[in-house]
Every structure is written in C-alpha cells, then in structure tokens.
Chain A
Amino acid sequence: MDMLELLNFYIIPGLVLGSIYALGAVGITLAFAILRYAHLAHGDLATLGAFIALAIVQASGMPPLAALPFAMIATAVVAVGIDKGFYEHLREKPKIITVMASLGIALMVRAVVQVVWGVDAESYVRGIVRPETYWGLRIKDREIWTVVFMIVLVAALQIFLARSKWGKAMRAMSDNPSLALLSGIDNRKVVVLTWIIAGGLCAAAGVFLGINTELKSMMGWQMLLPMFAAAILGGVGRVEGAVLGGLIVGVAEELSVLVLPSEYKAAMAFAILLFMLLVRPTGLLRGKVL
C-alpha cells in the first residue's frame, strides 16, 4: 500500500471522523471539568441537533451548513432546559446520581427523536458526492468544511475562555470551585454558560456526522464512547486536549481496519480509553483526575 492510499482511505477519513469526535469531546470535557460528572446524554443530544438541522433543511431547503447555527442554538436551549428541569435538582446529591440521570435523559432524548423522525436512516442531501483531487489526495468538500468548522468553533471557544470575563469565570470554576464561590462568581450563570457551549458543540458534532454519513436515531449514542475516550485521552478539562484526543481516536479507528475486522472498529476507542486510564489517567495534556 502506498502513501497516497494510506492518506486517502485511512488518514483523511480518520481526521474527519476525529473532528466530529472532537466537537463532542470538547463539550464533554467542559461539563466534566465544571459540573464534575460524566454526561452520558451527550451523544443523544448530538443526534437531536442533527435531526433539528434536518427539519430545518427539509422545511426551508437551505443547505445543512446554513442550518447548523440554528440547530446549535436550538440544542443549546434544550441542553439548558434539561439542566434546569433535571440536573439542577441533583446538584447537592452525589455526582453518580446525576450520571445515572443523564443516562435516563439520553434514553428520553433518543425516544423523542424516534417518535418525531422515525428509526429509518435519513440524509440531508440525496445523491453521491464525488471527491475532488488535490495533488493525488481525494477530498470531498464536506470533509474540508467539517475540519474547518471544528477548528473555527474550537478557536472561538479558546479565545472566549482566555479573554472574556465569563470565560475566565468558567476556568476558575473548573480550577477551584470553592474559591470561585468565595470570589463571588455566580455558579448558576457559569453552569448555564457551560450548557450553552456544550449543547451548541453537540449539535455541530451531530450535524457534521449527518453530513458525512447519514442520520440515524442511534448515531449519537454510538459516538459516546469515542467522545469520552477522546476527552480522557486529551486530559479532562483541556479543550485543546479534547481536540487532539478526538483526532487520535478518529484516525486510530480508521487505521484499526488494517489489522482488525471492521466490526471491531468501535472497540478501538474502548482500548484507547482503558490504556490511557491505566497508564496516564491525567491524559496527554495533564487534565484533572476526577
């Protein structure tokens, strides 16, 4: 197998899949660092975002990328609503209860998707997309958009966290929650902000998965494990780590097909997660151990 073949059939699809994982993993890592629990409904929120975008595309005829901002806003609103309706009441309880509640939310969100849109596979645009060739590399437009959007969204988030007052408040809450409260930072606002960002990124992950493959009611749930593997691989609380972790998990899953039967592709994320927790639980970029 030559170099071009490796790039075309494994590395490029791996980076695209990895970018999708990264978008979800960034939200997971923020929720983990600030709210301090593993949010198991993250994948199904991504499914919801993808289907909201489908509804917009079908109703208005606009391309899926144009529907993306609306889907992100709608999913962010849903995420904040779920927090207000369910997680907020569990804040003082042991975190494992919220983790279990988020599993229940995952099932509820999926059920809503199945009731509204059915269980059949859907797609945003019908027909086959032919890749363009750049110096022998075969890349589809939608693959470029996926990677570019991921980079733009993460860069915007990083600037927000580094420069803005409330971005810094989010970092402070992640760094030392009791001192943040002593400093007068309003925890409730930080939590709402976290859900707006995590919900929006969730929808982006779902929409790009839908653009690059197809929409199914289980699409997000199946992404949950790789997204968690990515967040932990990069280091919990590290946005840039979640991106790095997402890309590594995506490429590793595609490369695993070279040596393993393709049914075991999903096991790759699990193997990476286990290996990382055993060898370096703080992740590549030294995140938190919760």
Chain B
Amino acid sequence: MTSLLRLQGVTGGYGDADILQDVTLHVDDKEIVVIVGPNGAGKSTAMKAVFGMLNVRAGSIVFDGDTITKWATDRIVQRGISYVPQVDNIFREMSIHENLEMGAFLKKGDLSAAYDRVYSLFPDLKERRKTAAGTLSGGQRQMVAMGRALMLNPKLLLLDEPTAGLSPRYMEQIFQICRDVRDTDVAILLVEQHAKQALAFADRGYVLAAGQNRHEGSGADLLADREVAEMFLGG
C-alpha cells in the first residue's frame, strides 16, 4: 500500500544552512502521526518542507501520487493539504464565520456543506459564528484555526504544536478533536512539545533530533523505549 504522504531523504533549510538532514517519514490514510523531539530538532521545519515553505535540496516529497517537492503553496493547498501554523493562525479581527470563509477562498460555488462539516465538528463555534476570532479563548482559537484549515476538505492536515500554551484540559480537548477529524477521513501530521501525551494519543510517532530521524514506531513502542524516554521525554 502506498502512503498518503512520503518524505524520502529530505535535506534542506531556509538559506544555505540545512536544518533537515536526510529525513524520511510517511503518513498513511486516516492516520495520526506525531513528530516529537527536543527544541530546535527541526520538527516544525519538517512540516514546512511538506508545505513548500522550505528550500529542499535533496530528497523528495510525494503526496497522493504526486511529487510535490517544488510546488508552490497555493497549489499544495488545492491538492489537499492544509496547514495550521503554531502562532498567528487566525484572522483576529474577522468573525469566526469569515475565518472559515477565508479558509475556503479557493473553493468555488456553494460552501454550505463545508460550513456544516466544520460546525458539526466544532459546535461551540457555530453558536458564536459572528464573534471576532481574536476575542476567543486559546482553545477556541485553535478550533477556529483548524476549522479554517478544514474548509477545503483536505486529505491531510498539518498541525504545528496545536496544544502550545494550552491548559491540560484544553490539550485533551484538542487531541479529541484530532480524533474526530481523523474519523472524517483526514490524516493528521502534527508536531508536539508535549511528547508523552502526544505519543500516547497518536497512531505512530517519529523522534527527530538535530534535523535527523532517530526513532520511529507506534506511539506505545516509543513511549516504552528506554533510550527515547531518557533522551527526549525527561525519564
């Protein structure tokens, strides 16, 4: 079976310096995959490479049968990958509904099915659809950000540290939302600081350090691995 997304030997960075060294990873259909690792390991960079925001010097990125290594961002969005940045991921001064509308900017025709889908995933948002997104709490903002990204009905959702700065209660809520999103046939690749919780909830995980793959396996296996535990999870 071919993977939905496959990074093969990806090496690249922002300027001349390579942040990623020979990174290989894959995401299958309807799978939640987490990338963990210490600060500065290149976790977010790996995600940006997928989204065409990085200068990839070697290796390839294949999504759903297409080699997207050199594609422009808007073409990747059209093809079915959405990205939620870690910070500044909403339009603060626009209403929740307008945020979703902007997420579907590239879509022509009737948007009602897309709105229904997002509002059924996030019923809280529907009640407050006219509210300016900047006035919401951290957890609700994250929902708006994910809702915006889901409007184009992507096959793969990239989440850059969705639980950063959220309380444990919201973290659990975001993870539950990720499962709900996955159950609507969307694969998720996310980067996480909270390695233990994220590995416990994800289907599979990759441990990245110094821009290189170090370990991979199911979440449970990685959690049980002593070396991983000592290196990255604080014992």
Interface residues of A (CB under 8 A from B): 165, 168-169, 171-172, 175-176, 178-186
Contacts and interface: CB of A to CB of B under 8 A. Distances in A.
B102 A172 contact: yes
Contacts of B88: 176, 178-179
Q: Is the interface of A mostly helix, strand, loop or mixed?
A: helix
A182 B90 contact: no
A184 B90 contact: no
A185 B92 contact: no
Contacts of B231: none
Contacts of B106: 183-184
**Interface size class, chain B:** 20 to 34
B89 interface: yes
Interface in B87-135: 88-94, 98, 101-103, 105-106
A184 B85 CA distance: 14
Q: Would you list the 7 A-B pairs with minimal beta carbon distance, nearest first?
A: A184-B106, A175-B91, A184-B74, A172-B102, A184-B77, A183-B102, A175-B93
B92 A175 contact: yes
Contacts of B94: 168, 171-172, 175
A185 B89 contact: no
A165 B102 CA distance: 9
Contact of A172 (B74, B77, B91): B91
Interface string B58-99: 000000000000000110011000010100111111100010
Given A169-B105, A182-B83, A183-B102, A176 B90 contact: yes
A181 B92 CA distance: 15
B148 interface: yes
Interface of B: 73-74, 77-78, 83, 85, 88-94, 98, 101-103, 105-106, 148
B73 A185 contact: no
Contact of B103 (A169, A178, A183): A183
Given A179-B88, A181-B73, A183-B77, A168 B101 contact: yes
Nearest to B89: A179
A169 B85 contact: no
B98 A168 contact: yes
A180 B89 CA distance: 10
Contacts of A176: 88, 90-92
A182 B77 CA distance: 8
Contacts of B102: 168-169, 172, 179-180, 183, 185
Contacts of A185: 102, 105
B73 A182 contact: yes
Contact of A184 (B78, B89, B91, B93): B78
Contacts of B92: 175-176
Contacts of A184: 73-74, 77-78, 105-106
Nearest to B148: A183
A179 B77 CA distance: 12
Nearest to B82: A182
A181 B85 CA distance: 12
Contacts of A168: 94, 98, 101-102
Nearest to A171: B94
B150 to A, nearest CB: 12
23 contacts: A165-B101, A168-B98, A168-B101, A168-B102, A171-B91, A172-B91, A172-B98, A175-B93, A175-B94, A176-B88, A176-B90, A176-B91, A178-B85, A178-B88, A180-B91, A181-B73, A181-B74, A182-B83, A183-B106, A184-B73, A184-B105, A185-B105, A186-B74
